[in-house]
Structure formats: C-alpha cells, structure tokens
Amino acid sequence: MTQDGRRLRGLRSREVILEQAVGLASVEGLDGLSLGRLAAATGTSKSGFFAHWRDKEQLQLDAVEWAARQWKEHVVAPAMSAPAGVRRLFALHEARLRFYGDGVLPGGCFFFTVQAEFDDRPGAVHDRVARAMGEWQEFIQRLVAQAKELGELVEGADPAQLAYEIDALGEMVIIHSRLHDGPAALAHARRAVLQRLRALCPEPALLPED
Amino acid sequence: MTQDGRRLRGLRSREVILEQAVGLASVEGLDGLSLGRLAAATGTSKSGFFAHWRDKEQLQLDAVEWAARQWKEHVVAPAMSAPAGVRRLFALHEARLRFYGDGVLPGGCFFFTVQAEFDDRPGAVHDRVARAMGEWQEFIQRLVAQAKELGELVEGADPAQLAYEIDALGEMVIIHSRLHDGPAALAHARRAVLQRLRALCPEPALLPED
DNA sequence: TATACAAACGACCGATCGTTCGTATAGTTT
DNA sequence: AAACTATACGAACGATCGGTCGTTTGTATA
C-alpha cells in the first residue's frame, strides 16, 4: 500500500518545519537560522531534523524550493489571471507589493534575504538561489516580450532592461519599508513601475492613472 | 604632551582593523563576521580587540562609521565636484556604480549587506544604519530639489519618489551582478536612471545620450 | 502475532562563538 | 630609575553551533 501513515505523518511535519524555516529565514537568513532555534519554533528536537534531511544544507535547499512554490502561488499565479500584456505585467508587480504589504513572511521576502546572504558565498544554495532568480527574471522578460507582441509596449522597450527595473524597484521595498520610510516605499515602488509602463505603452488607458 | 606614541599606534591598528572589518562585513555581514576570522585576517589576537572596543557591538558601530566615511569619500565627494543640478545627480549615480564596478569592497556594498542583515533586528546597529540610510536618502532628495530650483527638472518631479527610484536602481546592482547577469546589471542601472532623468529634464543635452 | 521500518527523541560530541582575566611589553610621566 | 598606562597577548570560560548515536514509539507488512 502507498497509504503509509508513517510517510504521511512525516510529510506533514516536513511541511510544517519548512514553512517555519522559510519564515524565520526571511528574517535571519538561511544560515543565520540555527537548527536549535528552528527546533524551538517548531516544538521539536533538532536531532529529529536528521530523519528528514542529511544535513543543514539539504534543509536549506528544500526551504528554497518551498519558498519558490509560495512565490509562484502568491505572486505569479494572480498575475496570470490578469489579461496578457501590459496589464499582466503590472498585475505581477502589484501582486509582489501585496505579498510584501500583507506581511505574508515576517521578514518580508525570503529571496531578498537569502540572495543578500549567498551572493558572495559559493555552494549548492548559491547555485539554487541563482537559478531561481534567473527563472524569475526570465519570466518577467517573457511578459515584457508578450506585451510587445500585443502592441502594448513600444518596439524600443528592451525586455532585459525593463525586467531589471521592475525587479529592482519592487525588491528594494523590503529595505526601505523596514528601516526608512515604512509604507511610503510601497507607494513609491508602485508609482515608479506604473509611470514607467504607461510611458512605454501606446494605450496608457489599459493601466490605472495613479 | 599629546604626542603619545602609544595612542598613535593604537589609532593606526584601530584603522587597519576597521578597514578589514568593513571589507569582510560587505561579504558576510557585521554579525556573520566573527571576531576569530577578523583576528585571522588582521594577524592579531581576538582578545586584543577588547583593548579598543568594549564589545562586538561597539566595533560594529565604528565599522558603520568607517563605511559611511568611505562612502562619502568615494561616492558623495566626486558628485559634489560636478556642476549642481541634474548633472550632479547623475554623477552621484555614476560614482556609486563605479564604486561597485571597481570592486572597492570585496562584497560590493557594505551598506547593502548590513541593511539586509539588520532591517528586522532591533538594536543600536539597526538604528545607526537606519540613520545613515535616512541621511543618504535625504541627500539625494536635496540634489533633486536643487535641480528643480535650477530648472533642470520639471516641476512635477517628486524628490522622495525620484530618490527612491535612483537608490533602488543603483543598489540592486549588487545582487544582480553577483548572482545573475554580471556586468549587464551595471549597464541596466546606468541606463535606467539616465533615461529617467532625461525624460524629466527640459534640457536633456545636459546629460549623455546613452 | 512477529518482524520491519519510519519518525522522533535525549544525550552527547568537537568546534567555534563572544567574552573575561591575568600578564608581558612598550612608551610616557614623574 | 620608578611609577604609570595603553597595547596586545594566551589561556580559559560558558554558551551555542551543526551533527552523531542509540533508543523508543507507533505503524505496516509477513
């Protein structure tokens, strides 16, 4: 039987641990998060972790996977239900800002913290995070290209350039909102991308005015 | 006599230690940096640190101070030697990108790493970093306001909004260049701010075309 | 019912963390 | 020369780090 109660129970607690790990890592980072604190947060013993993962790095890699799923669910999926083109592009940006504003993760953004932590440290986690970031950037670029094909962005718009701008303006909300100007950062990030898209869109009426 | 050779020697080694600390912290963060590794990097013993600083936090605070001085020297000062107005604003952005591109710090940017590390962790270091960031943001806003007074930026330009955009587009170079598209990030950041300023400037000829 | 196995635990390991203490040395003041 | 002081050190501290080991508990299979 595949109906193995032990495996089911294991998967469930595995999920609980990963959710806690992603939340804590969004605050203190994947390495800054210690197994002891993670054990305390989940109400388990740290030795129990090694029944699920060979070592801390394996847990970190699974946490990245979990966070990527969460990101797709909360940010990518809502955008995909908006009409293709420039509106979908802006919906993606707004979904990200909502994710931050709603405080889904205590630290704001798992990937921001982990990128800052591992951008200089080679290893499996670095590579996995870099891959996730590449896919994210590629996804934004595809949406830009699609908007161009639909004639909703001028021909001169460079997908890589615009994707960099959208991502940078959105991601820096984390730092600015937490240690400088609070919710104003969200407004700045929203307004910046909105005006940029409107300026590049032959039919600005597709987007809100402000 | 104020000519105390002991104090001079102390100040010199203090400076050496802080320089190393800022460099290492730009990679692993101010807390991620351990006193043991710092001692190994400076060729001293870690117990010797406590002749200069009461505890690790005092060293961290002085490291922030040292990094702020370095930033003013490498980024703010060069911008101030450009003519006031929109050209000075862009010179500031370019000086920052040069600071990153030249690899002055092994981790790229001390403040980026430390902001990401302390944005969620209350304490003296958090407050000191937040103050530095506030001053930096205020400085950009002053340059924007000055450019408006000189008629080099349209009246509708919001200093806080534009300062956010310039800072975000510049700062995210660190992450993008290190774990995604390398030097292309520098080009994207430069181009984004340049085009943004040109679009807001009644006299675009003040700025390079590309 | 007996056997096999996954899940979880407590106890413990060596290494490293920030920090303290006593001491030796070099340079200044008396 | 004696007294003083800033600098720097080695040894050691308790705490915590990631990780190992042996064991117990609960479930599924034979």
Mean residue pLDDT of chain A comes to: 96
Nearest-Cα residue of chain A relative to residue B172: A168
Q: What is the pLDDT of residues B89-99, one digit of tens each?
A: 999 999 999 99
Cα–Cα distance, A126 to B7 (Å, whole number): 44
Token output for A8 = 């089911």
- Of residues A101, A88, A122, the one with CA closest to residue A178: A101
What residue ranges of chain A have pLDDT lower than 50?
1-3
Nearest-Cα residue of chain A relative to residue B159: A188
Q: What is the pLDDT of residues A64-123, one digit of tens each?
A: 999 999 999 999 999 999 999 999 999 999 999 999 999 999 999 999 999 999 999 999
| Per-residue pLDDT at B105 | 98
- Whether B8 has a pLDDT exceeding 50, the answer reads yes
Length B159 CA → C10 C1' (Å): 60
Question: Which nucleotides along chain D are within 7 A of a protein C-beta?
Answer: 5-12, 16-22, 26-29
- The phi, psi pair for A107, rounded to 5°, reads -90, 0
| Per-residue pLDDT at B60 | 98
Q: With contact defined as beta carbons under 8 Å apart, do B97 and B189 qualify? A: yes
Q: Which of B188, B190, B196 to mutate to test the interface with A (most CBs of A within 10 A)?
A: B188
- Whether B1 has a pLDDT exceeding 60, the answer reads no
Contact A113 B115 (CB under 8 A): no
Question: Which nucleotides along chain C are within 7 A of a protein C-beta?
Answer: 5-11, 16-22, 26-29
Q: Judge if the beta carbon of B10 is closer than 7 A to nucleic acid strand D.
A: yes
Residue B3 banded pLDDT, cuts 50, 70, 90:
low
**Amino acid identity, residue A118?**
F
Crossing angle between the packed helical segments A5-28 and A110-118, to the nearest 10 degrees: 70
Mean residue pLDDT of chain B comes to: 96
Chain B contact for A64 (CB, 8 A cutoff)? no
Measuring from the CA of residue A42 to each C1', which nucleotide is nearest? Answer: C8
Q: What Å distances lie between residue A101 and A185, B121, B165, CA to CA? A: 10, 19, 19
Contact B192 A106 (CB under 8 A): no
**Other C-beta atoms lying within 10 Å of the C-beta of residue A27:** 17
- Whether B5 has a pLDDT exceeding 80, the answer reads no
A46 Cα to chain B: minimum distance (Å):
22
- Nearest CB neighbour to B120, from listed A107, A164, A167: A107
- Largest Cα–Cα distance of chain B, in whole Å? 60
Q: With contact defined as beta carbons under 8 Å apart, do B116 and B122 qualify? A: no
